[in-house]
Amino acid sequence: MKKLMVMGAGIYQVPLIKKAKEMGIHTIAVSIPGNYPGFAVADEICHINTVDYDEVLRVAKEKQIDGIVTAGTDVAVITIGKVCDEMGLCGLSFEAAKVAADKMLMKERYEACGVRTARYRKVYFDEDVQEAIQDLEYPLIFKAVDSSGSRGITRVNTPADIERAVEAVKKTTRKKYYIVEEFIIGEEFGAQAFVFGGKVQFVLPHGDYVFVGDTGVPVGHFAPYELNDELLADVYDQTEKAVKAMGLDNCAINADFIMKDHKTYVLEIGGRSGATCLAELVSIYYGYDYYEKIIQAALGIQPEFPQDQAVPNASKLLMSDRDGVIRSMANHNAPDERIYEIMFDYTVGDPVKKFHVGPNRIGHVITKGRTLQEATDALDEALGKIEICVE
């Protein structure tokens, strides 16, 4: 029986674990101790911090795993690269993983390889930030270079906002530096893609529903994202250039873009599938189980990515507008072929946080339709029939 090590046991790793088990694969969930849903699903549990690649590697060798993978998080990507290199497994390399997990290294590669991206500066916490960024134009984005899920990212409109932004980065990062880049004013969107055997297998642009806080945080997505042939070609071109610049191969791709003046700018690219229902978006749109493809690639099996169908779909997270405890939950939706999935992460009596970043979600709703309008109408209707009381 094949053995698959899944990095993380959170809500975004559960579908990977379940699919692997359906495929007859022995699953090993790796995570620090906690109330993580993946622990109840996996065949085996290893209580290890997913960033401790030396310990994960030791256990991976001991258990003679056949593959290692994650979904929806950047935290464990470096560890995956280390294990793949050391054990000769199929996946992104250690070097590419380090680039994918550090926004500063990523930007440097983009600049060197001609990838279209925002102007930026690397800033150390012990230097004068005003002097370091004096040639950049406001508004700006202050980013922790080693975080995901929109954590440690703050928009700065004036110099008066800088101190708050720096403090927000400090609370998130493990690095001595951070990145400041110009905020490109345009239309944000994303894409899911996959690179295998040195070739980008597909690129699926998607639209984003955004929660506006300190910066825009995706709270849902939809496909198709309508682009004419010229713009779509530009998306493909910039994706392929960015993937090559980063050295990514044999992995899923989660890309964030912005469109300005009919040109695609690359904000960042992760070497894993996206969170916030994005793997499900791919599965519904193309008609195959995307988690299965991710697992096949991790095991060194050539995955096929047919693109002979396109089913419109949309999704949004369920969120709370306050910190508190769930007092009641009710789903009044009747069975509907347009509803793909309604999921609650918590139950009555559980504490939840006011939504600020992606991990603050308390569930999701995914719908589909013959047209995008039908899918989004179904999404709005389904959301309107869900009641969650947090006090």
pLDDT digits (tens, 9 = 90+) for 40-76: 999 999 999 999 999 999 999 999 999 999 999 999 9
Q: How far apart are CA 257 and CA 300, in angstroms?
A: 29
Two tokens at 211?
Answer: 């929660």
The beta strand positions in 160-250, using DSSP E, are 177-182, 187-196, 199-212, 216-223
Residues 6+ apart with CB under 8 A from 287: 306, 309, 311
Burial of 27 (0-12, 13-18, 19+ CB in 10 A): buried
Give just the sign of the alpha carbon dihedral 377, 378, 381, 387: negative
Which CATH topology does 186-298 take? D-amino Acid Aminotransferase; Chain A, domain 1 (3.30.470)
Second-level CATH architecture of 313-390? 2-Layer Sandwich (3.30)
Domains 186-298 and 313-390 share a fold: yes
pLDDT of residue 216: 67
Joined tokens for residue 11:
């809500």
Backbone angles phi, psi at 240, to 5 degrees: -65, -40
Residue pair 96/242 in contact (Cβ under 8 Å)? The answer is no
Strand partners, 212: 216
Distance CA 104, CA 112 (A): 12
Which overall architecture, per CATH, does domain 119-182 show? 2-Layer Sandwich (3.30)
List the strands of the sheet with 351-352, edge to edge: 351-352, 324-331, 386-390
pLDDT digits (tens, 9 = 90+) for 113-152: 999 999 999 999 999 999 999 999 999 999 988 876 566 7
* pLDDT reported for residue 48: 98
The predicted model scores a pTM of 0.91
| Residue numbers of the chain with a pLDDT score lower than 50 | none
Domain 3-89 architecture:
3-Layer(aba) Sandwich (3.40)
Residue 301's φ and ψ, nearest 5 degrees, are -95, 125
Q: Quick one: which of 141, 126, 120 has its CA closest to 183?
A: 141
Q: How far is CA 40 from the centre of its chain?
A: 23
pLDDT for 200: 98
The backbone region for 57, taken as left when phi is positive above 0, alpha when psi lies in -120 to 50, beta otherwise, is: alpha
d(CA 41, CA 4): 13
Domain boundaries, the chain: 3-89, 119-182, 186-298, 313-390
Per-residue model confidence (pLDDT) at position 214: 54
Q: What is the share, in percent, of the chain residues with pLDDT greater than 70? A: 98
pLDDT of residue 218: 87
**78 neighbors 98 (Cβ within 8 angstroms):** yes
